[in-house]
Amino acid sequence: MTTAVQRPALVRSSDRMIAGVCSGLADHLGWPVKFIRLGMILACFAGGAGVAFYAWLWTMVPTADESAKRNARRPASPIAPAVSLPPTAATPARASTAYDAGLSPAVRGVPAASGASAPGGQASGSTHGAGSASGFGATSADDWWGGSALASWFSFRKIQYGKEILLGAALLLVAAILIARQFGVDVPLGTLIPAAAILGGAAIAWMQLDETRRAGLVDKTKADQAGGWVRLAAGLALVVAGVLVMVSGSGSWEQTWLALLASVAVLGGVALVLLPWGLKFWKDLETERAGRVRETERAEIAAHLHDSVLQTLALIQRRAGSEQDVVRLARAQERELRAWLFSDAARESGLLADRIKSVAAEVEDSHGHAVEVVTVGDTQMTDRHDALVQAAREAMFNAARHGGGTVSVYLESTAGSTEVFIKDRGPGFDLDAVPDDRLGVKESIIGRMKRHGGSAVITSSSDGTEVRLTLPSATVDAGDQRNNDVRNGEAKQ
Amino acid sequence: MNTNPDSGAGRRVRVVIVDDHTIFRSGLKADLDERMDVVGEAGTVEQAIAVIAESRPEVVLLDVHLPGGLGGGGREVIAGSSALLGTTSFLALSVSDAAEDVVSVIRAGARGYVTKTISGKEISDAVIRVADGDAVFSPRLAGFVLDAFGTAPADIADDELDKLSARELEVMRLIARGYSYKEVAKELFISIKTVETHVSAVLRKLQLSSRHELTKWAAERRLL
C-alpha cells in the first residue's frame, strides 16, 4: 500500500512564512520549499483549493515542538499527523493498537481495518451515526490492553497510511471538482458541499474525540485540550450547518437561521443530559492519572530503598561480627537516607556548612566514629574558607584517631568571622610535647590557619581536646550573612 | 553528662515511653538505668494520651513522629495532656532532626529534645534532669536556637523574649560545641545549677517567643 521510505515527520517547521506548513511539507516530501510555496499559491487560484489545503494542514499538522513532545512518549511514527494518537506506553505494539483503537471513520472504510480481526473491531462495528457516542463508549482500557495482546498477530502495517491516503484522495477529488468547474463542467455543488461538510465535520469530530480521550489519559496539557475542543466544536458546526443546508434545500437564510436555532437548542438539551456522564468519565480519568503518578513515585522510592537501605542491611548482616563496621555502615546509610529525604533542591550547595558536613562524613567513614555537626549561619566558599575546611578536616581526623566516642563539630559563621570548633572526648595531649616535625597539628592546622589570616587554638585536658579555628572575614562583603551580628567575646578562652 | 546528686538515691522516676516502634521502646526500656521505672508504654497519639492520663508519670519520653490522632504526632500528645503539664514533663525523642519538628514539639511544651542515637547513660541523665524541672538541650537543639534567635546578644536591661542574653548565648554556644552541662559550668566558672537556670530560661524563650520568624525559620529550614 505504501512504500516504506523513511521520511522526516510531517511537522510544521519553525522556518515559516505563515504557519510553517509549506516548509514542513517540503521537508517531509524532500522537495524544494520554493516549489511547494509556488504550488500552494497557484492552488489558491484554483477555486481556493490551496487555501483550504493550507488551512487543513495548519490545523492538523503539529508543530515541531508538539511533535517532539509526543515522540518523547512513544517511538517516532513515520508520519506524525495530528490525528495520530499519543498513547501511554512507549512500545510499538501498543502504539499500533492505539492507532487502531483510534481509527478515524475514514479509515474504517478501508477493508483491511474493518476486518473482524482488528482489536478495535467493537469500535469499528459501531455505525457512523453512533460514532460520537461510541468514540467515548469504547472503553479505553479494554481495547487498549486487550489490543496489546493481540497486536502481535494483527498486521497493522497494511493500513498504516490509510487515513492519510484517504484524506489525500478526498482533497484531490475536491481539487478535481473545483478545476472541472473552472472548465465549465456542471457539478452539483449544491448537494456536494453540504455532503462534504457533513462528512468532513464528522471526521474531524470523531478524530478529535479519540485524541482528546487519549491525550487525557496520557497527559493533558491545557493547550492540547483547548485545541481539541475547538476542533470538536468546529466539526460539529460543520455537520450541523451541512445537514441544515441539505435539509432546508438551500432555502432562504431566514429559514436556515430558524432551523439553526432549533438544532442548537436540541444540541444544548443533549449536552445537558450527557454532562453528568461526561463529568464522571472525566473524574475517572483524573483518578487513573493520580494513581499512575502515585505508582511511579512508589516505584522510585522502592528502587532507591533497594539500592541503598537493603544493600546496606545485607552488608551489615555479613559484617555483624565487627561492631565498628556495623556502626560505620549504619551511619553512612543514615546520612545518605537523610540527604535523600530532606535534601532541598532549592538550597544552594557548595556553601561552607555543606563542605564541613561532607568532610565530617569522610572522617566518619574512615574511622567509624560518629561526627556530629552543628552549624549556625553559612557563608560562600572562598580560598580562605577552603583552608579552614582543610584545617577542620585535619582536626577531625585527629579527633577521630586519638579521641574516643563522638566527635562534636560546631560551625558558626557570622558577618565578622567564621569559627569552627572540633571537640573530642579522648585522653587529651600536651601540645608543647608534640615534636616540631609532626606535621599534623602544627603545620596542617595551626600553620595553615595563620597563613590565611586566621588562628587555631588547641585546648586539651584529660576530659578531651578542643580545636578552635577562627577565620575573620577578609572584607565586609566576604560573607552573605543574615544579620550584622557583633561577635561577643566569650568569657574565657 | 553529669550525674545529678540532687535526685537522691532512694527516689525513682516514673517514666512513660511513647514510640510507635516496639523494638525501640524495649531497647530504650533496657537502656534506662535503675533510677527510673517505666510505668507505661504507648504507640499512638490516642494511646499515649490515655496512658499518660492514667499513670501520671513524671517524665514522658515522647517520639516526635507518632501515628494516630490528627497527624500532629508528639505535639498533639503534649496538647492532649496539657492539664498535666505542671506535674508531667515531656522529653522529645526524634530521629528526624528537622528543625521544624523539633521546634514545634518544644514550643508545644516539651522540656527538651534528644536524638534517638543517644547512649543509655545520657538518656538516663536527661530523664533525671527533666524530672528535676530542668531543660535538656542537645548540641543540635542549641544550634537551632542560635540559628533562630541570632547570635547577637540582647541589651542587658532588655528582658525581651526574642533575644538571648549574652550569658545564655555563651551557654548555648558551648552546648552546641558538644559540652556537657558540667563542662559548661567549668568553662564559665559557674555552678551546674546556674547552667540549668540559663538553659531553662532559653527554653522558656523558645516556647514563649512570639517572634514569628521562629516558626518561619523552622519551616524554611527543613534540612538537617
Mean pLDDT across chain A: 69
- Grid coordinates standing for A70? 509526543
Q: How many CB atoms lie within 10 A of CB A155?
A: 12
Instruction: State the pLDDT at residue A62.
Output: 74
Interface contact A488-B166, CB threshold 8 A: yes
Instruction: State the pLDDT at residue A386.
Output: 85
Instruction: State the pLDDT at residue A5.
Output: 57
Instruction: State the pLDDT at residue B190.
Output: 92
For residue B223, with 0-12 CB atoms within 10 Å meaning exposed, 13-18 middle and 19 or more buried, which class applies?
A: middle
3-state secondary structure of A464: strand
Residue A460 bridge partners (DSSP): A465
Element (H, E) at A42: helix A33-45
> DSSP for A346-410?
TS--SBHHHHHHHHHHHHHHHH---EEEEEES--B--HHHHHHHHHHHHHHHHHHHHS-SPEEEE
Judge whether B224 and B211 are in contact, CB under 8 Å.
no
pLDDT digits (tens, 9 = 90+) for A66-88: 666 655 544 433 333 333 334 43
Residue A348 touches chain B, beta carbons under 8 Å: no
pLDDT 10s digit of each residue in chain B, 224 long? 444 444 444 578 899 999 888 888 888 888 888 888 888 888 888 888 899 888 889 899 988 888 877 877 888 888 888 777 778 889 988 876 677 778 888 888 888 888 887 888 888 888 988 888 888 888 888 888 888 777 666 555 455 666 778 888 889 889 988 888 888 998 899 998 899 888 888 888 887 776 555 666 666 654 33
Q: Rounded distance, CA A368 to CA A397, Å? A: 11
Residue B141 touches chain A, beta carbons under 8 Å: no
* Ramachandran sector of residue B60 (left: φ over 0; alpha: ψ -120 to 50; beta: rest): beta
Residue B156 touches chain A, beta carbons under 8 Å: no
Shortest distance between the Cα of A302 and any Cα of chain B, in A, equals: 20
Work out the widest C-alpha separation in chain B, in whole angstroms.
50
Query: Which among A347, A406, A423 has CB closest to B223?
Result: A347
More confident residue, A257 or B62: B62
Residue A378 touches chain B, beta carbons under 8 Å: no
> For cell 435539509, what's the residue?
A247
pLDDT at A192 over 80: no
The mean-pLDDT minimum among A131-140, A303-312, A358-367, B169-178 falls in A131-140
Shortest distance between the Cα of B224 and any Cα of chain A, in A, equals: 7
Judge whether B124 and B33 are in contact, CB under 8 Å.
yes
Interface contact B151-A370, CB threshold 8 A: no
pLDDT digits (tens, 9 = 90+) for A279-289: 888 889 989 99
How far lies A229's CA from each of A27, A81, A226, in Å? 29, 17, 5
Closest by CA position to A12, among listed A3, A4, A23:
A23
Q: Rounded distance, CA A127 to CA A134, Å? A: 9
Q: Rounded distance, CA B173 to CA B144, Å? A: 11
> DSSP for A83-94?
TS---SS--HHH
pLDDT digits (tens, 9 = 90+) for A87-135: 433 334 443 433 443 334 443 434 433 333 434 334 333 334 333 333 3
Q: Rounded distance, CA B110 to CA B75, Å? A: 8
**Pairs from B80-87 (Cβ < 8 Å, separation ≥ 24):** B80/B45, B80/B48, B80/B49, B81/B48, B81/B49, B81/B52, B81/B53, B82/B109, B84/B52, B84/B53, B84/B56, B85/B109, B87/B56, B87/B58
Which pTM value belongs to this model? 0.53
Shortest distance between the Cα of B169 and any Cα of chain A, in A, equals: 9
Instruction: State the pLDDT at residue A88.
Output: 38
Element (H, E) at B98: none
pLDDT digits (tens, 9 = 90+) for A396-452: 888 888 876 788 899 988 888 888 999 888 777 776 666 666 656 777 788 888 888
Q: Rounded distance, CA A121 to CA A140, Å? A: 13
Instruction: State the pLDDT at residue A157.
Output: 43
Interface contact B179-A423, CB threshold 8 A: yes
Helices (H), A115-221: 121-125, 131-137, 140-150, 162-182, 189-218
The letter for the amino acid at A213 is R
pLDDT digits (tens, 9 = 90+) for A29-40: 888 888 888 888
Element (H, E) at B142: helix B139-149
Q: Rounded distance, CA A169 to CA A166, Å? A: 5
